[in-house]
Chain A
Amino acid sequence: MNYKLIANIAKSLLFARLKQTMVAAIGVTFSITMFITLLSFMSGLNDLLDGLILNRAPHVRLFNEIKPSANQPVNFSSEFKNHYNFIHSIKTSNSREQIYNSGTILQAVKNDNRVLGIAPKITSQVFFNDGANDITGLINGIDVLAESELFFFTDYIVSGKAIDIKNVSNSIILGKGLAENLLANVGDVIQITTSKGEIFPLKVVGFFQSGLQEFDKMQSFASIGTTQKIAGKAKNHITEIQIKLKNIEQAPAIAKEFAQLFQTDAEDIQTASSQFETGSKVRTIISYAVGITLLVVAGFGIYNILNMMIYEKMDSIAILKATGFSGRDVNLIFLVIALSIGFFGGLGGLFFGYLLSSVIDQIPFNTAALPTITTYPINYNPAFYFIGSFFSLITTYLAGLFPARKASKIDPVVIIRGK
Chain B
Amino acid sequence: MEEIIIEAKNISKSFHDPVTISVLKDINFSITKGEFVSIIGKSGCGKSTLLYILSTMDTDYEGELLIGKESMKNKKEADLARIRNEKIGFVFQFHYLLNEFSVLKNVMLPGLKLNKFSEQEVEHKAMERLKTLNIQHLQAKMANQLSGGEKQRVAIARALINDPHIIMGDEPTGNLDKKNSEIVFDIFKQLSEEFNQTLLIVTHDQSFSEKTNRIIEMEDGKIIRQ
Contacts and interface: CB of A to CB of B under 8 A. Distances in A.
What secondary structure prevails in chain A residues at the interface with B? helix
Interface in B100-126: 100-101, 105, 109-110, 112-115
Contacts of B140: none
A323 B110 contact: yes
Given A324-B86, A326-B78, A413 B113 contact: no
A319 B107 CA distance: 12
B205 interface: no
Contacts of A321: 57, 81
Interface in B71-88: 77-78, 81-82, 84-86
Given A12-B101, A416-B92, A5 B84 contact: no
Interface string A285-319: 00000000000000000000000000000011011
A19 interface: no
A411 B94 CA distance: 17
Nearest to A316: B98
Interface residues on B, range: 20 to 34
Interface string A3-14: 001000100110
Nearest to B84: A324
A419 B86 CA distance: 26
B99 interface: yes
A416 B94 CA distance: 8
Contact of B113 (A315, A318, A323): A323
A12 B109 CA distance: 12
B59 to A, nearest CB: 10
A419 to B, nearest CB: 5
A327 to B, nearest CB: 6
A371 interface: no
Contacts of B110: 323-324
Contacts of A328: 78
A91 interface: no
B67 to A, nearest CB: 13
A322 interface: yes
Nearest to B89: A323
A325 B113 CA distance: 7
Contacts of B115: 2, 5
Which of A13, A15, A322: most chain B Cβ within 10 A?
A322
A326 B77 contact: yes
A417 interface: yes
A234 interface: no
B176 to A, nearest CB: 15
Identify the interface centre among B48, B93, B94, B96: most chain A CB within 10 Å of its CB: B96
A412 interface: yes
Contacts of A5: 109, 112-113, 115
A70 interface: no
Nearest to B52: A413
Contacts of A318: 96
A322 B89 CA distance: 9
A108 interface: no
Contacts of A315: 96
Interface of B: 48, 52, 55, 57-58, 77-78, 81-82, 84-86, 90, 92-94, 96-101, 105, 109-110, 112-115, 158, 170
Given A321-B57, A323-B90, A328-B78, 14 more contacts: A15-B100, A316-B99, A319-B96, A319-B97, A321-B81, A323-B84, A323-B85, A323-B158, A326-B82, A327-B77, A327-B81, A329-B113, A411-B57, A417-B48
9 contacts: A5-B113, A5-B115, A9-B109, A315-B96, A321-B81, A323-B158, A324-B110, A325-B113, A417-B52
